[in-house]
Chains A and B, each alone.
Chain A
Amino acid sequence: MQIDRKETLRYLGYRGQDIDSQTERLLDEVFTELERDSSPKSICRKYRCQATKDAVILKPLMDEIAWFYSVGSQSETNSQWEVILKSKNLAKNLRGCEQAVLLAATIGRAADFMIQKYSVTNLAKAAIVQAAGAAYIESYVDEIEDEVRTQAGRQGFYLRPRFSPGYGDFSIDYQKDFFDLLECRRIGVTLTEGNLMMPSKSVTAIIGLTSGKQESCWKRSCSQCEKTDCEFRKEESGE
């Protein structure tokens, strides 16, 4: 997978300035090293989903329960749990969805390691790694989302834009639930005391699946974000 150069530049606050050959070389070196040393990993799991006015309730899918039945011969299972995610914004995002996919993804520790290393020897490079890592994880998650879209499409589902803890009123404290549901340790992602993910270039998100096409087409964009003075805000365009 290739790191998106345009996105990297956007994260670096690029506004069409001349890029001299030296900067060009640093960008190339970072892309090569980061692509070589990163090992993107992800984990996804599908749930039954029900959105109320101010919360989303997740339950196991019937075919997952069946999956457990099929493990060995012990046939009784009581897999009837539910998890409630309280957030009006999330509930609005998932309104009408019958299913939801939870995902966690990371590009691994290489970016963090490189940032530490280059903070000592070459701060410009460290800043580029920071930006390239952000671009990398975003495109990786886009790729996973495309895969989810293809699979969901086969079953007649359409996707809502992905939504992560920390967006709007969806508290970052729900990272804990993502970690419980997905067992993120399997891809090496950990949480700090303050609920920050490490490696830092990691993403958790929930994607709603709906069978109604009309409700699905709003595209994820910066326009939904409240931080209107953000330096990295994408201009709305017609594409």
Chain B
Amino acid sequence: MNFLERLNTELLFFDGAMGTMLQKQGIQPGELPEIWNMTKEEVILQIHKSYLEAGCDILKSNTFGINPYKMKNCGYTCEALTAKGIQLARRAIAETGKEAFVALDIGSLGKLLEPLGDLPFEEACNAFVPVCIAGEQAGADLCLIETMNDTYEIKAAVLAAKEHTSLPVIVTMVFDENGKLLTGGDMEAAVALLEGLRVDAIGLNCGFGPDVMKKFLPKLREITSLPIVVNPNAGLPVVVNGQTSFLVKPEEFASVMKEIAKDGASILGGCCGTTPEHIRALTEACRGMRPLQVTEKNRSVVSSYTQAVVFDSHPKIIGERINPTGKSRFKQALRENDLEYIYKEALVQQEKGAHILDVNVGLPEINEAEMMEKVITGLQGITGLPLQIDTSDIAAMETAMRIYNGKPLINSVNGKQESMDAVFPLAAKYGGMIVCLTLDENGIPDTAQGRIEIAEKIIREAAKYGISKKDLLIDTLTMTISTGQENAGITLDALHYVRHTLGVHTTLGVSNVSFGLPQREKVNTAFFTIALSKGLSAGIINPNSAAMMDAYYACCALNGSDLQCSNYISYFSALPAQSAVSVQSAAQLTLFDAVVKGLAESAGKAAEQELKSKEPLAVIDEDLIPALDQVGQGFENKTIFLPQLLMSAEAAKAGFEAIKEHLKAKGTVSEAKGVIVIATVKGDIHDIGKNIVKVLLENYGFQVIDLGKDVAPERVVEAAREYQARLVGLSALMTTTVANMELTIRMLNQELPECKVMVGGAVLTQTYADMIGADFYSRDAMGSVRYANELFA
């Protein structure tokens, strides 16, 4: 029988630790254990044999640390080390005559992925590929991706394994005492992602001994429909979080593990500190036991890297604002690559109570796949809400699903064969819940029955790909009542049937219903309310609409899904206070005062007010710049300090944004004083200082091209040339990265001798700056403004 056949029918046992055994054999700290596959193969072979003798069913190959980063300059290729690792396990099986599987053991790359770290997602995927290919070729029976603590890296590893091998895949993770991954992601989010990726079993390893893992098991079993693996530690010679880990003896280990088996784990084994004695005690204690039946939990769930959102009786809000349709400012932001504008839309909706954010960045004149990739990556760095990938461009959809750190909501598929043929394979591969529009080759049926039939067709087609009803979200299509008053009824009847008779979750884009009518929000709110009562699982709405959110909270209180009306109560108790403050402050302050006091909202409103009677240029010269100068001087004289300077800068920015909108409405654009390229140099990933400089320079009217952090010298030169920048600003935080700063300056001097360079950052001094050939050293952010003003005067 192969591994998958045995997986659900009997308890299976992994071996124990490899690292602990190697340490006993005198491996040095920093020495790569996998090199021993080549240099001390007898030792590895012997360890495998002792685990086989102890009764394990699955050997973990000695390949945990093999990846291009750790094995750089080690003298062997990843492929050769992996192949040898698998061969040694195979040989141990052959020489002992035991029956056992070999798991290709894959560990973490030890690097943090973008956007928080410096490793791009595709590069992470590629880093796992050679090991996967070599492992399968050398005869592995399955892949074990273990000791993982970041869902994004897990996704990269699983994709590598799935795309390059046909082996079953098991993933085990390290959770902390709060049941969270080190990324802050919870168990539900991780399970959603992994079930979406269709791995074969999931579980826990390392981190804790069996007693703590036992506590996690009920929760894990409640949320997963997959077989569970438990590989705990038996002890470590280090103090983690102040806890000395005492050695768990084999008998004690085995007795807790037996409980864990009773609680529903299907595969048991050991991690750090476990030995053949532990595994022998374990297999003996569990002899004759059978695994609990694995049951389907039928959870409809999407996730981000940090949290899961479950579709249930409590309806969800999908924020619709990240979408250029009918929004000229948004279109402009997309064309100008002004992602910050988009990110703000995201965070405002989050603040207003959205559970999921729809992301649509389609414009005919831009490359949608590229933009989607940028926006999704950026959003994942600032919000923990799950995202809904909204596009009709299949290439953009796949790109987004691939780099998405979680199980996304996909918007959308419809009843056309062509659409289903394109979307379902992607969902089957990457996971996701799918919004299904009830239209097909013949258009949108004008009866509820017609739409229900399309829903049924979609459900049947999805099943062919192994996509069950739980992962569908049927949209029975909102049509405007101004073209036919029966429209609302058709949509709602179909919705009710889908939710209650077909038993599938539902969604609607709500606001279409009022198209062509006055006071649209009133109609939308009423329609939304009725839809919620008919069984709407998720409304795609504008969370900034107070009327809609009021209705939402009231409905949830009424239908009983908001337990003890607690969301309702906290929503309305927070509300009046907030609006009173903003009304008051906005009414009283002049633009000058608002900027000096650092009140962004007031500054925006005051600027709009000023623009009614003043020319934009006058607003800038008479209000904004004098206010900024006063604040800047205060900062330099140390009468105010950094946060206050920045609040004023943000307030001024809101003022400038109002001017920009004003000019745009008039069909003109403001002219920049000059172009400045700024970047944090290669190797450096801290960019807050650079961001501060950016906002101040923008306030003073410069167009700032921000290349971000960890920027290669070539890219700085390229951008400076492309934008014909007369000034480049470079930031470096570490002594070690100042070398890259020097290199960047040298390249700039060579290629663009007329371009000036200003530098700043924690370790820099005037002497240092002179040494590396900078034209100007800026002690703080205001210094860079002064220099730029002089240069461009």
A residues engaging B (CB < 8 A)? 9, 12-15, 17, 20, 22-23, 26-27, 37, 39-45, 64, 67-68, 70-74, 76-81, 83, 108-110, 112-113, 115-117, 119-128, 130, 144, 147, 166, 172, 176-177, 179-183, 185-188, 190-196, 198-200, 227, 229
Is the Cβ of A13 less than 8 Å from the Cβ of B683? no
Is the Cβ of B686 less than 8 Å from the Cβ of A108? no
Is the Cβ of B239 less than 8 Å from the Cβ of A192? no
Is the Cβ of A77 less than 8 Å from the Cβ of B239? no
Is the Cβ of A77 less than 8 Å from the Cβ of B343? no
- Which of chain B's residues 96-142 have a Cβ closer than 8 Å to chain A? 108, 110-112, 115-118
Chain A CB within 10 Å, residue with most, of B184, B207, B276, B383: B184
Is the Cβ of A180 less than 8 Å from the Cβ of B735? no
Q: Which of A15, A71, A109, A199 interacts with B24 by CB under 8 Å?
A: A71
Task: Tell me, in angstroms, the Cα distance from A192 to B197 when the chains sit together.
Answer: 28
Is the Cβ of B641 less than 8 Å from the Cβ of A72? no
Is the Cβ of B112 less than 8 Å from the Cβ of A177? no
- Which residues of chain B are within 8 angstroms of A79 by Cβ–Cβ distance? 23-24, 26
Size of the B side of the interface (Cβ < 8 Å), in residues, is: 83
Tell me the smallest distance from the CB of B333 to a CB of chain A, in Å. Answer: 13
Can you list 14 pairs linking A and B with CB atoms under 8 Å apart? A12-B643, A27-B643, A41-B176, A72-B277, A77-B23, A79-B23, A109-B116, A116-B382, A117-B347, A120-B382, A121-B344, A125-B643, A183-B238, A186-B238
Q: Which of A37, A72, A83, A127 interacts with B30 by CB under 8 Å?
A: A83
- Which of chain B's residues 218-260 have a Cβ closer than 8 Å to chain A? 234-235, 237-242, 247, 250
Is the Cβ of B25 less than 8 Å from the Cβ of A39? no
B530 at interface by CB-CB < 8 Å: no
Residue-wise, chain B 275-296 has the 8 Å CB interface mask toward A (1 for contact) of 1111000000000000000000
Q: Which of B24, B242, B643 interacts with A124 by CB under 8 Å?
A: B643
Tell me the smallest distance from the CB of A188 to a CB of chain B, in Å. Answer: 3
Task: Tell me, in angstroms, the Cα distance from A124 to B692 when the chains sit together.
Answer: 9
Task: Tell me, in angstroms, the Cα distance from A19 to B209 when the chains sit together.
Answer: 49
Is the Cβ of B646 less than 8 Å from the Cβ of A124? yes
Task: Tell me, in angstroms, the Cα distance from A136 to B257 when the chains sit together.
Answer: 38
Chain A residue nearest to B238 (CB atoms) is A45
Contact of A190 with B110 at beta-carbon distance under 8 Å, contacts A81-B26, A120-B343 already known? yes
- Which of chain B's residues 286-324 have a Cβ closer than 8 Å to chain A? none
Chain A residue nearest to B20 (CB atoms) is A71
B772 at interface by CB-CB < 8 Å: no
Q: A22-B599, A43-B240, A68-B24 are known contacts; what are 13 more A-B pairs with Cβ within 8 Å?
A: A20-B644, A26-B647, A37-B184, A43-B241, A76-B24, A77-B24, A117-B381, A119-B687, A119-B688, A123-B650, A124-B645, A187-B240, A190-B110
Is the Cβ of B247 less than 8 Å from the Cβ of A70? yes
Q: Which of B108, B238, B347, B685 interacts with A185 by CB under 8 Å?
A: B108
B589 at interface by CB-CB < 8 Å: no
Is the Cβ of B26 less than 8 Å from the Cβ of A22? no
B668 at interface by CB-CB < 8 Å: no
Is the Cβ of A17 less than 8 Å from the Cβ of B641? yes
Tell me the smallest distance from the CB of A72 to a CB of chain B, in Å. Answer: 3
Tell me the smallest distance from the CB of B440 to a CB of chain A, in Å. Answer: 41
Task: Tell me, in angstroms, the Cα distance from A190 to B644 when the chains sit together.
Answer: 34
Q: Which of A12, A67, A120, A124 interacts with B347 by CB under 8 Å?
A: A120
Task: Tell me, in angstroms, the Cα distance from A200 to B511 when the chains sit together.
Answer: 44
B183 at interface by CB-CB < 8 Å: yes
Task: Tell me, in angstroms, the Cα distance from A199 to B111 when the chains sit together.
Answer: 11
Q: Which of A39, A120, A194 interacts with B180 by CB under 8 Å?
A: A39
Residue-wise, chain B 665-693 has the 8 Å CB interface mask toward A (1 for contact) of 00000000000000000111111100110
- Which residues of chain A are within 8 angstroms of B415 by Cβ–Cβ distance? none
- Which residues of chain B are within 8 angstroms of A108 by Cβ–Cβ distance? 182, 184
Is the Cβ of B116 less than 8 Å from the Cβ of A112? yes
Is the Cβ of A195 less than 8 Å from the Cβ of B736? yes
Is the Cβ of B182 less than 8 Å from the Cβ of A119? no
Q: Which of B147, B182, B250, B344 interacts with A72 by CB under 8 Å?
A: B250
- Which residues of chain A are within 8 angstroms of B182 by Cβ–Cβ distance? 39, 41, 108-109, 187-188
Is the Cβ of B240 less than 8 Å from the Cβ of A15? no
- Which residues of chain B are within 8 angstroms of A37 by Cβ–Cβ distance? 184
Is the Cβ of A180 less than 8 Å from the Cβ of B691? no
Task: Tell me, in angstroms, the Cα distance from A199 to B182 when the chains sit together.
Answer: 10
Tell me the smallest distance from the CB of B639 to a CB of chain A, in Å. Answer: 6
Is the Cβ of B108 less than 8 Å from the Cβ of A78? no
Q: Which of A73, A80, A128, A196 interacts with B684 by CB under 8 Å?
A: A196
B718 at interface by CB-CB < 8 Å: no
Task: Tell me, in angstroms, the Cα distance from A180 to B238 when the chains sit together.
Answer: 13
Is the Cβ of A117 less than 8 Å from the Cβ of B118? no
Is the Cβ of B275 less than 8 Å from the Cβ of A74? yes
- Which residues of chain B are within 8 angstroms of A188 by Cβ–Cβ distance? 149-150, 182-183
Residue-wise, chain B 140-178 has the 8 Å CB interface mask toward A (1 for contact) of 000000010110000000000000000000000010101
Contact of A191 with B110 at beta-carbon distance under 8 Å, contacts A45-B239, A116-B381, A196-B683 already known? yes
Tell me the smallest distance from the CB of B674 to a CB of chain A, in Å. Answer: 22
- Which residues of chain A are within 8 angstroms of B598 by Cβ–Cβ distance? 22-23, 124
Residue-wise, chain B 364-387 has the 8 Å CB interface mask toward A (1 for contact) of 000000000000000001110000
Is the Cβ of A17 less than 8 Å from the Cβ of B639? yes
Is the Cβ of B642 less than 8 Å from the Cβ of A127? yes
Q: Which of A77, A117, A177, A194 interacts with B737 by CB under 8 Å?
A: A194
- Which residues of chain B are within 8 angstroms of A9 by Cβ–Cβ distance? 641
Is the Cβ of B649 less than 8 Å from the Cβ of A72? no
Task: Tell me, in angstroms, the Cα distance from A72 to B343 when the chains sit together.
Answer: 55
B734 at interface by CB-CB < 8 Å: yes
Is the Cβ of A120 less than 8 Å from the Cβ of B344? yes
Chain B residue nearest to A63 (CB atoms) is B237
Q: Which of A15, A43, A123 interacts with B692 by CB under 8 Å?
A: A123
Task: Tell me, in angstroms, the Cα distance from A42 to B240 when the chains sit together.
Answer: 6
Task: Tell me, in angstroms, the Cα distance from A192 to B650 when the chains sit together.
Answer: 32
Is the Cβ of B277 less than 8 Å from the Cβ of A43? no
Q: Which of A15, A109, A196 interacts with B641 by CB under 8 Å?
A: A15
B432 at interface by CB-CB < 8 Å: no
Task: Tell me, in angstroms, the Cα distance from A116 to B116 when the chains sit together.
Answer: 8
Is the Cβ of A180 less than 8 Å from the Cβ of B684? no
Contact of A116 with B115 at beta-carbon distance under 8 Å, contacts A13-B642, A23-B643, A81-B28 already known? yes
Is the Cβ of B683 less than 8 Å from the Cβ of A22? no
B327 at interface by CB-CB < 8 Å: no
- Which of chain B's residues 726-756 have a Cβ closer than 8 Å to chain A? 734-737
- Which of chain B's residues 8-57 have a Cβ closer than 8 Å to chain A? 20-21, 23-30
Task: Tell me, in angstroms, the Cα distance from A54 to B486 when the chains sit together.
Answer: 87
Chain A residue nearest to B696 (CB atoms) is A123
Tell me the smallest distance from the CB of B364 to a CB of chain A, in Å. Answer: 27
Q: Which of B117, B644, B692 interacts with A198 by CB under 8 Å?
A: B117
Task: Tell me, in angstroms, the Cα distance from A128 to B179 when the chains sit together.
Answer: 29
Task: Tell me, in angstroms, the Cα distance from A186 to B149 when the chains sit together.
Answer: 9
- Which residues of chain B are within 8 angstroms of A22 by Cβ–Cβ distance? 597-599, 647
- Which residues of chain B are within 8 angstroms of A182 by Cβ–Cβ distance? 238
- Which of chain B's residues 371-421 have a Cβ closer than 8 Å to chain A? 381-383
Task: Tell me, in angstroms, the Cα distance from A43 to B20 when the chains sit together.
Answer: 18
- Which residues of chain A are within 8 angstroms of B278 by Cβ–Cβ distance? 72
Q: Which of B118, B183, B692 interacts with A193 by CB under 8 Å?
A: B118
Tell me the smallest distance from the CB of B645 to a CB of chain A, in Å. Answer: 8
- Which residues of chain A are within 8 angstroms of B647 by Cβ–Cβ distance? 22-23, 26, 124
- Which residues of chain A are within 8 angstroms of B644 by Cβ–Cβ distance? 17, 20, 23, 124
B340 at interface by CB-CB < 8 Å: yes
Task: Tell me, in angstroms, the Cα distance from A64 to B238 when the chains sit together.
Answer: 9
Is the Cβ of A67 less than 8 Å from the Cβ of B237? yes
Q: Which of B235, B643, B687 interacts with A71 by CB under 8 Å?
A: B235
Task: Tell me, in angstroms, the Cα distance from A123 to B644 when the chains sit together.
Answer: 10
Chain B residue nearest to A181 (CB atoms) is B29
B765 at interface by CB-CB < 8 Å: yes
Tell me the smallest distance from the CB of B417 to a CB of chain A, in Å. Answer: 42
Chain B residue nearest to A147 (CB atoms) is B242
B640 at interface by CB-CB < 8 Å: yes
Is the Cβ of A80 less than 8 Å from the Cβ of B26? yes
